[in-house]
Amino acid sequence: MIEKFMNAFVPDKKKPVEKLPERKLEKSLDKNIEYMKLLFDGSADFTVKYVNTANARCAVLTMEGMVNKETLAVSVINPIVQSVYPIIYGSEFLRYLEKNVLSASEQVEIETVDKVLTLIMSGFAVLLVDKCSVGLAVGVQGFSFRSVSEPETEVVQKGSREGFVEPLRINMSLLRRRIKNPRMKFETLTIGTVSKTDICLCYLNDIVSQDILQELKKRLSCVDIDTVLASGYLVPYLQEENDHSLFSTVGSSERPDTVCGKINEGRIAILMDGTPLALIVPYLFVESFQTMEDYSNRPYFATFTRWLKYLAFVVSMLAPGIYVAVATFNPELFPVQILTRVVTSIGDTPFSITTEVLLIHFVYEIMREAGLRLPRPLGHAVSIIGGLVIGETAVNAGLIGAPTLMVVALTAISSYVIPNLYPPIAILRLLFIVAGGFFGIWGIVLLFCVVLVNVCSKKSFNVPFMSPIAPFSMFGMRDVLIRAGWRTLAKKRNLVGKQKSD
């Protein structure tokens, strides 16, 4: 009975996706068009434009909204209609069109139906000629997309205002503009048996670790997901197989300049069509505390802000748990003035200190989610209401103590200093509160040791996740606890995955 109950929550085995057969194009134009229409089954966006010449009947296949109609007319249809041809037919006629008539720069010969479908759904126009078993794909893409703008999650005062957008080719050009080096290579792959999403690996061929590159390609080849709609779909496949840690070993960025800096250190960026985000591997723990603005400011100020981030990380993760542990088991550790206020607040509230801190944290997380999901005008209203309810009314009503509210507020502000680590911090914060409430300071210390051992044992593509701290490297520490000046950083690059530096 128990087995049946448990099996009800286990999903059935994944059914294999029905793949289209590798059918070759036939010489008959009518048969090819009929088969295409059968596959699309009356889809409104599939269009066929017949173009008749003295030599042969032709057809141009496109997807509505994916092509630029003006470019299609100027580069494909008008030249075919207006040209005068020698007496040639079939394949020879198609070759003549390709070399002497069509003016588009991007032309690809195709022989299979599957390739025709992939290209027309990517914005190409496919030209088919009667009595010819080969088609010609012409690049006339013209779909709408968001213009390049400043990224909202990685704002800097000194630096570029450009961020990635959804089209893959635009993102590739943003990287190429910043690294004008022929050794920078773009390698495209297709992921997803149904969505057939294009992804691109970006790296410097002369400094990237070939072992890491081959391992990345191996993991990508093992992706067995049907539909890939966001970069987060790939992250579990890029991490270690038995990785149960809260910290991710795959980085991400919306900024082309940040990605170029990582590529220059031997890392590999993964761009995905339809996602304004780049994944970065290998990714180290210390990179969560590094921002592009650190390298635009003076070294002393960049070092100061970096120490602030480390302090904010410790406070946001440990402060509520330590407060609960000390207030519950070791109140004598508080100074006398603070102890009096803490004891008074505990006596005036109906909940235990552990329940009180957990409750206010859950309310805060609910407010945060509401502020993120609601439209911006309503999001401000949620912030105002939350400040009134939690900040004043709850304290005056005796539901929450003022010291507890102060600790939670300090924790919430600190967690926003390092937004890349917010997900693991939110979970660890609750675990430390529970550990401190049940086991006191010793529970905090034990859980901290578990977390420390876990992150020190992690690897990102065989690169230690905590390097250059563990294992320790003096050369790598010049950009961890301090940010050395550019005269020092520019002498040698700290290449990831390689023993030597250029």
Does residue 204 register a pLDDT over 90?
yes
Domain count, the chain: 3
- Residue 405 and residue 332 share a domain: yes
Cβ(121)–Cβ(66) under 8 Å?
Answer: yes
- Residue 279 and residue 365 share a domain: no
In a domain, 7, yes or no: no
Residue-wise pLDDT tens digits, 166-191: 889 899 999 999 999 899 999 999 88
Cβ(459)–Cβ(247) under 8 Å?
Answer: no
When pLDDT is averaged across residues 383-399 and rounded to a whole number, the result is 65
What is the 3-state secondary structure of 400-421?
CCHHHHHHHHHHHHHHCCCHHH
Q: Give the C-alpha separation, 306 to 300, whole Å.
A: 10
In a domain, 348, yes or no: yes
pLDDT the model gives residue 89: 86
pLDDT the model gives residue 313: 95
Structure confidence at residue 391 as a pLDDT band (50, 70, 90): low
Does residue 67 register a pLDDT over 80?
yes
Residue 83 domain boundaries = 29-139
Residue-wise pLDDT tens digits, 304-338: 999 999 999 999 999 999 999 998 898 888 888 78
In a domain, 252, yes or no: yes
In a domain, 502, yes or no: no
In a domain, 212, yes or no: yes
- Residue 83 and residue 220 share a domain: no
- Residue 174 and residue 74 share a domain: no
Structure confidence at residue 156 as a pLDDT band (50, 70, 90): confident
pLDDT the model gives residue 118: 87
- Residue 446 and residue 333 share a domain: yes
pLDDT the model gives residue 31: 92
- Residue 318 and residue 272 share a domain: no
**Residue type, position 473, single letter:** S
In a domain, 436, yes or no: yes
In a domain, 464, yes or no: no
- Residue 450 and residue 309 share a domain: yes
Name the domain boundary from 230, 250, 283: 283
This prediction has a pTM of: 0.84
Structure confidence at residue 347 as a pLDDT band (50, 70, 90): confident
Residue 202 CA: distances (Å) to CA of 164, 181, 266, 281:
14, 12, 10, 11
Name the domain boundary from 283, 307, 324: 283
Residue 462 φ/ψ region, left for φ over 0, alpha for ψ in the -120 to 50 degree band, beta for the rest? left
- Residue 225 and residue 316 share a domain: no
Asked which of 45-49, 63-67, 305-309, 370-374 is least confident by mean pLDDT, the reply is 370-374
Cβ atoms < 10 Å from Cβ of 158: 9
- Residue 64 and residue 189 share a domain: no
Does residue 8 register a pLDDT over 50?
no
- Residue 304 and residue 278 share a domain: no
- Residue 189 and residue 124 share a domain: no
When pLDDT is averaged across residues 74-94 and rounded to a whole number, the result is 88
In a domain, 232, yes or no: yes
- Residue 308 and residue 279 share a domain: no
CA of residue 212 relative to chain centroid, distance: 19
Q: Round the average pLDDT of the chain to a whole number and report it.
A: 85
